[in-house]
Homo-oligomer: A and B are copies of this chain.
């Protein structure tokens, strides 16, 4: 069941990656590569940094789901664009919530401490999108004031705290709910980081 949901999450990441990247004209091959990069890039970087076997090499289902979802995004774009506009965003939020708690567990199980686990949660969550935007030369996440890394950070820290207070099954459900709730609120009310928490250095004349 969880495995099935994870694959669903991978598929949603690929589709939302394609939707974001295709604001620039892309061909079917580039779309598939962009979908793969968005869906698998973050986890690949995480596994490389932790020196673990890259997750999709041993279970190619991830790979094929991302390929299939990317091709579907190309073929079924009219259908996807007819969906309620924020549905994909909410599905993406649900995917991020699920993947984040899994990354925490995987990192802890590999013998790393809680700080590394939180960092890896963020790396897994944002690196795929960063790679996509770098390769398609669109403004990256870091240049927008969208709250994407922050809810993952909060959720991952909360999960680690909750683990000490309740059973792991309860803690992970609550942490997932917290990440999903944050992202949903951000999507619904289009919340962004306030301007006074930003910095711009004007070069001297």
Residues of A within 8 A of B (CB): 18-19, 22-31, 33-34, 44, 48-51, 53-54, 57, 60, 63, 74, 77, 81, 85, 112-113, 115-116, 119, 126, 130, 134-137, 139-143, 145, 147, 149-150, 193, 197-204
Nearest to A48 among chain B residues (CB) is B48
Cα–Cα distance between A33 and B27 once the two chains are bound (Å): 30
- A116's nearest neighbour on chain B, judged by CB, is B57
Contact B27 A115 (CB under 8 A): no
How many angstroms from the CA of A134 to the CA of B185 in the assembled complex? Answer: 30
Look across to chain B and name the residue whose beta carbon is closest to the beta carbon of A138: B137
Complex partner residue of A201 from B60, B81, B200, CB under 8 angstroms? B81
Q: Which residue of B lies closest to A54 (CB)?
A: B49
- What's the minimum C-beta distance from A187 to chain B, rounded to whole angstroms? 16
Pick from B26, B135, B141, B203: contact of A130, CB below 8 A. B135
User: In the complex the two chains form, is B115's CB within 8 Å of A201's CB?
Assistant: no
Q: How far is the CA of A140 from the CA of B113 in the complex (A)?
A: 34
The smallest beta-carbon distance between A201 and chain B, in angstroms, is 5
**B residues in contact with A134, CB < 8 Å:** 134-135
Contacts A28-B193, A48-B48, A150-B29 hold; do A22 and B201 have CB atoms under 8 A apart?
yes
Closest CB in chain B relative to A157 CB, distance in Å: 14
Contact B116 A198 (CB under 8 A): no
A-B contact pairs, 22 of them (CB 8 A): A19-B201, A22-B200, A25-B199, A26-B142, A26-B198, A26-B199, A27-B197, A28-B197, A29-B149, A30-B141, A34-B142, A49-B57, A50-B54, A51-B51, A51-B53, A51-B54, A60-B115, A63-B115, A130-B135, A134-B134, A136-B143, A137-B143
Asked if A27 contacts B193 (CB within 8 A), the reply is yes
Please measure, in the bound complex, the distance between the C-alpha atom of A34 and the C-alpha atom of B202, giving whole angstroms.
Answer: 18
Other than the given A26-B198, A28-B193, A51-B51, 17 more pairs (CB < 8 A) read: A22-B199, A22-B200, A23-B200, A23-B203, A26-B200, A27-B197, A30-B142, A31-B199, A33-B142, A34-B142, A44-B49, A48-B49, A57-B116, A60-B113, A134-B134, A134-B135, A137-B140
